[in-house]
Amino acid sequence: MTRAALFLAMLNPAMLMAELPGVQVNVTHISPIAGTVEVSLFDSAESFLVTPYLQQSGKVSDDGSYTTRFASLPAGDYAVVVVHDANDNGQLDLGFLDFGGEDYAYSNQVRPWFGRPDFDEVRFTVADSDVVIEIDLD
């Protein structure tokens, strides 16, 4: 970066943030087409499934999809968890033995039979460019 560019960046910190990559999360096959989708981004094994680094939510689209983007992320390892709160009661409703309730999914399309996956199973790396995560709730 030249001195002039560095000086301008110091005057406008948003210029530096614009250079950082982001993560786009595309969620498809959401059924029923109702309720809210919550996408949580975790930045470490210690915080995984405990405290999200960032979180966004919104209504399910008419086509059964939801897309969100986490912008300007520092390079590193991340994991995504998606929860479909179909009845909008603010919690993940699980069925008998965690089957038949509301849908949830992890990055890398990891779907454990029982229990929760480890951060290493669902992590992906953000480095120099944007990352697109596809989550299929079917």
In CATH, what number is assigned to the domain containing residue 108?
2.60.40.10
Q: How confident is the model at residue 121 (pLDDT cuts 50, 70, 90)?
A: very high
In the chain, what percentage of residues exceed pLDDT 70? 78
Residue 113 near residue 60 (C-beta atoms within 8 A):
no
45 part of a folded domain: yes
Residue 58: what residue type? Answer: G
Q: What angle do CA 130, 131, 133 make, to 5 degrees?
A: 150
Over residues 17-39, the mean pLDDT reads 90
Q: Domain span at residue 59? A: 20-136
Q: What is the pLDDT of residue 103?
A: 85
Range scoring the smallest mean pLDDT among 20-24, 51-55, 101-105:
101-105
Residue-wise burial string across 83-95, b where 16 or more C-beta atoms lie within 10 A, e elsewhere: bbbbeeeeebeee
CA-based nearest residue to 107, from 94, 117, 93: 117
Count Cα neighbours of 91 within 13 Å in the Cβ-side half-sphere. Answer: 3
Task: Report the chain's mean pLDDT, rounded to a whole number.
Answer: 85
115 part of a folded domain: yes
Residue 12 token pair: 């406008």
Taking the C-alpha atoms of residue 32 and residue 103, their distance in angstroms, rounded to an integer, is: 10
Residues 6+ apart with CB under 8 A from 79: 41, 42, 48, 106, 107, 119, 122, 123, 124
Q: How many domains does the chain have?
A: 1
Q: What is the pLDDT of residue 136?
A: 95
